[in-house]
Structure 1
Amino acid sequence: MACFCCFDSKVVGGNSSCSSGKGKSHQCSVKYGFSLVKGKANHPMEDYHVAKIAKFGEQELGLFAIYDGHLGDTVPAYLQKHLFNNILKEEDFWTDPASSIIKAYESTDQAILSHSSDLGRGGSTAVTAILINNQKLWVANVGDSRAVLSRRGVAIQMTIDHEPNTERGSIENKGGFVSNMPGDVARVNGQLAVSRAFGDKNLKTHLRSDPDVQHLDIDPDVELLILASDGLWKVMENQEAVDIAKRVKDPQKAAKKLIAEALNRESKDDISCIVVRFKG
C-alpha cells in the first residue's frame, strides 16, 4: 500500500519511512510520484526526500528533493526538515529565486556545521526542484544526485554531477587532494566521492557547498522531470530513464519502475526517485 506523507504549511518534508507516494496540483494537470528503496549496505537508509505541492498565499509551489546521505542519516534528515523552509524564508525568494536558493544552501550548510556535535561528521548531497505556479522551474544541486528533464522525449540533464576529478583545481587550491586508486572512484582526500556536499566537517576546508542553479519555463513540450539519487544514475543513462518513465503515465508507478530497473541492473546503493509529470 502506498504511504502518503503529511505536511503542514511551515514544516516541509517527507517521512523517510515512506517507501512510496503520490500527489497532484489543484490548479492543473501536474502530478508527481516517488519511491525509495534501501540498498544492500549494512547501515540504515541514508536517502531522504521531499515531494509536495502546496499553496503559499496566492501561489502554488511544487517542492521536490532527494537528499543522499553518507556516514549516517542525520544530515539528510536535517535537510529534509530545514532546507526548503530556509529557501522560502529568504526575503527575495519571489523576486530572485536563484539568489535565494544559493543563500539558503550556504546558510543551511553553516547551520549543519555549527551543529556537528549533534549531527555528527557525515554529510549529504542534495538535488532540489521548485515549481512556481506550474510555470517556472528552479533546479539546484550539490553532489551527484541528479535531475533530468524530458522535452519531446529527449533527456536534458538539469544538474551538474560534482565529481572530484572535474573539480580537482578547486580542491587542490584549498589544500586538498584527489585520489584515483585502481578499482575505485576518485575521492577527495581519499575519502569522499563527491566534490560538493552539505556537512562533512572534517573535509569542509576542501569541499564546496554552493549549488549549481538552473531555471526553465515550463512550456507544452516539457513532459516530465526525474529526480534521483546516484543509486539510479550509476546504472542508467539519462535517456534510458526518460524512455522508461515516459511509458508509464502514473508517476508513482514510473518511479517504482525506474527503481525496479536499477535493481535489475544490480545497483546496490540506496535508490530514491521522484517523477513529476507536467501533462497527462
Structure 2
Amino acid sequence: MSTALINLVRNGGHQVRRRALLTSRLLQDDKRAAAICPSSTSVRRTSRFDLDGSGRPATWDSFGIWDNRIDEPILLPPSIKYGKPIPKVSLSKVGCASHIGKRKENEDRFDYAQLTDEVLYFAVYDGHGGVAVADFCHKHMQGFIQGFLTEEQNMELVLMKAFLEIDKAYARHAQLSADATLLNAGTTATVALLRDGIELVVASVGDSRALLCRKGKAMKLTIDHTPERKDEKERIKKTGGFIVWNSLGQPHVNGRLAMTRSIGDLDLKKYGVIAEPETKRVQLHHASDSFLVLTTDGINFMVNSQEICDFVSQCHDPTEAAHLVTEQAIQYGTEDNSTAIVVPFGAWGKYKNSEVNFSFSRSFTSSGRWA
C-alpha cells in the first residue's frame, strides 16, 4: 500500500493522485466486505461507494477531500500513518485581520508560521497595560515552542512548558529594565499547533479564544479565565487576592485585571494570576471540519461563537472571512482592538447557514464572554 501511494505522488497531478488513491482503497474495502458478507437479493449491501444505500455513488466530498474549494495536495506520510487522505494546510491560504477599534493603540498581536516540516503555529495575543508583553510573545513564543518540540512529542506539554518559560523570560527582561511600567503589562495568549495536518492542540490563558467549525457548528476549544469561574476565583482568594466589581458589573482581580491567567502582570503573580494554560487536543476530520478561528476579546464580547462560525461560512476565502468577523464586531459596537485568524480545513465551504442575517437586529444577550 505504501509503494502504491508513493508511486501515485510521483506520477501525476494531485487531483488524479487523490482520486486514484481513494478508488484503490475503496475497491479493496469492497472486495473484503464481499468476502465476509455474501450478497442477498432481499437486503441491499451498502458499500462505501453507496454510503446511504440510495444507489447513488458517494462523492469525493464524502471522504473529506477539499473538492476544489481550496485545492491542496494530499500529505503522503500522514495519510499513510493515519490510514486516510489528509490534505495539506497551507499558510498561504490563512486569513487574518486586526482592527484598532476606538483605542489609541492596537495592543493585539497575531502570528502564524511553519515551525517544523510537520508542525504549523497560529497565535493571537491581546496586550493590556501596554504592548510590551504582547510584543515579547510575538517575538519569542515561536522559539520557545521550537525548542521544546525537539525534546517532547506531546504538544500539550510543549505548549505548557513554552507558556511558563516565556513568562519567566519576560519577568527577567522586565526586572532588568529601567521601565517600571513593564511590571504591570500583560497579555492573553491563545496558541494552536497543527501537526501532520490532523493533530490540533490549543493552549490559552486569558480571554482570547479558539473555535473549530465542525459540520457548521461552533466547537469551543478554549474557556475564558475570568473571576466568574469558581475554580479561578478560589485560587485568587487562596493566594491573598480579592475580586472587585466595577461600575459595569465586571469583576477584576485586585480591582485591576479582568482575567485570572495571563503572561506578564508580574505585580499580580503572588495573588494567583498564573501563566499556566489550559489545553485541548482534537483530531481533525477534514470531511466535517471547515476551519479554525482564533479571536481576541474585541470580537468575543460582541459576536458569539456560533455567529463567528456562521459569518465565516458565508465567505469565499479565509482572508475575506477574517475581515468580515472584525467588521461585524465593529458594527455591533465594539470599541476594543479586534483580531481574527481563520485557518481553512477540508470541509471549507461545505456547510453554509442560509439563515445568517447581517443586520443590526440581533440579541446582545448571547454575546460577550458567556457565548
Q: Normalising TM by the smaller chain, what interval?
A: 0.7 to 0.9
Bigger radius of gyration, 1 or 2?
Answer: 2
Percent identity of paired positions between Structure 1 and Structure 2: 31
1:181 CA displacement: 3.0
The alignment status of 1:141 with 2:216, answered yes or no, reads no
- One-letter identity of the residue aligned with 2:269: K
- One-letter identity of the residue aligned with 2:128: H
Aligned pairs (5 A) from 1:102-141: 102-117=160-175, 118=177, 120-121=182-183, 122-141=185-204
Structure 1, gaps ≥5 residues long: 1-22
Instruction: Give 2:226's aligned residue.
Output: 163
In 2, the alpha carbon distance for the partners of 1:265 and 1:67 equals 22
Q: Matched residue of 2:321: which SS? A: helix
- One-letter identity of the residue aligned with 1:38: I
Aligned pairs (5 A) from 1:210-225: 210-219=276-285, 220-225=287-292
1:93 CA displacement: 5.5
1:165 CA displacement: 2.4
Instruction: Give 1:38's aligned residue.
Output: 100
In 2, the alpha carbon distance for the partners of 1:115 and 1:95 equals 29
In 2, the alpha carbon distance for the partners of 1:91 and 1:230 equals 29
In 2, the alpha carbon distance for the partners of 1:93 and 1:216 equals 22
Question: Equivalent of 1:255, from 299, 307, 322?
Answer: 322
Q: Which structure: greater helix fraction? A: 2
Deviations 1:179-202 (A, max 9, x none): 123324110000000000000111
Question: Equivalent of 1:192, from 254, 257, 274?
Answer: 257
- One-letter identity of the residue aligned with 2:282: L
1:114 CA displacement: 1.4
Q: Which has the higher contact order (CA 8 A, sep 6+)?
A: 1
Instruction: Give 2:63's aligned residue.
Output: none
* Residues 25, 194 of structure 1: alpha-carbon distance in 2 compared, 3 angstrom cutoff: farther
* Residues 46, 201 of structure 1: alpha-carbon distance in 2 compared, 3 angstrom cutoff: same
The alignment status of 1:179 with 2:240, answered yes or no, reads no
In 2, the alpha carbon distance for the partners of 1:237 and 1:157 equals 11
The alignment status of 1:66 with 2:124, answered yes or no, reads yes
* Residues 92, 61 of structure 1: alpha-carbon distance in 2 compared, 3 angstrom cutoff: closer
Instruction: Give 1:11's aligned residue.
Output: none
In 2, the alpha carbon distance for the partners of 1:67 and 1:168 equals 23
Paired residue total: 254
In 2, the alpha carbon distance for the partners of 1:253 and 1:46 equals 22
The alignment status of 1:230 with 2:291, answered yes or no, reads no
CA contact 1:24–1:32 (8 Å) conserved in 2:
no
CA contact 1:106–1:209 (8 Å) conserved in 2:
yes
Instruction: Give 2:10's aligned residue.
Output: none
The alignment status of 1:49 with 2:115, answered yes or no, reads no
Instruction: Give 2:339's aligned residue.
Output: 272
CA contact 2:206–2:259 (8 Å) conserved in 1:
yes
Q: Matched residue of 2:94: which SS? A: strand
Deviations 1:91-124 (A, max 9, x none): 5655211112111110110111111143712000
Root-mean-square deviation (CA, aligned residues, Å) is: 1.9
1:60 CA displacement: 3.1
Q: Which structure: greater strand fraction? A: 1
In 2, the alpha carbon distance for the partners of 1:160 and 1:55 equals 26
Deviations 1:193-219 (A, max 9, x none): 000000011111121110011011111
- One-letter identity of the residue aligned with 1:82: H
Instruction: Give 1:204's aligned residue.
Output: 269
